[in-house]
Amino acid sequence: MIKDIFKINDFVAIYTDLEAETFGLGMVVAFDDKDVIIGSVDPSGNEDGLILYNVDTICKIEKDTQYCQKIKKLMQSKKTSLATHGFGKKILQELLSLAKDNKKLVEIQLQNSHKSDTVGFVESLDNNVCKIRQFDYLGNEDGCCIFLIEDISSVKYDNRESKDTLLLMDL
């Protein structure tokens, strides 16, 4: 079914909560049987990292809307290029490994909570367990978080907010 919905390079808006009126917008860069990754774009047409969604949490997908067309035009005029990383068949594990190897901050939502349950660096990935060294929004270390990888409903990788947090960490 996923292959019928998502195509690589499709420009989509993905909703996981219709009441919140928020969505992820970008180009599909990878998908497997459980997850989809988009190269994310902000409302001004700028690159905003990668977002992985567990497909079971998606309630609505839009394609070819006027808003999507507007953002694509902004991207073209700004010559915005999106992050892609040549993912394989287990894209969730690959994205977490990529974050660990490149020391990139991730923002993780668990069990479709509709909030950021942890923000930080991936420290370890062992036997379906992930350990994150957490940081607050001011860039201060805030302990660690350990959870089952199967409980992840979304991952934001190297987005604008995490880049801001990295800047604060360096101050």
**Ordered per-residue pLDDT tens for the chain, 171 residues:** 566 788 888 999 999 988 877 899 999 999 999 999 999 999 999 999 999 999 999 999 999 999 999 999 999 999 999 888 889 889 999 999 999 999 999 999 999 998 899 999 999 999 899 999 999 988 999 999 999 999 999 999 999 998 898 888 865
Q: What is the DSSP letter of 150?
A: G
- Cβ atoms within 10 A of the Cβ of 113, count? 12
Question: pTM for the complete prediction?
Answer: 0.93
Interacting residues of 104 by C-beta distance below 8 A, sequence separation 6+:
98, 121, 157, 158, 162
Distance CA 145, CA 88 (A): 27
Domain that holds residue 52: 2-169
Domain total for the chain? Answer: 1
Taking the mean position of all CA atoms in its chain, how far away is CA 116? Answer: 11
- Closest by CA to 147, choosing from 103, 104, 96, is 96
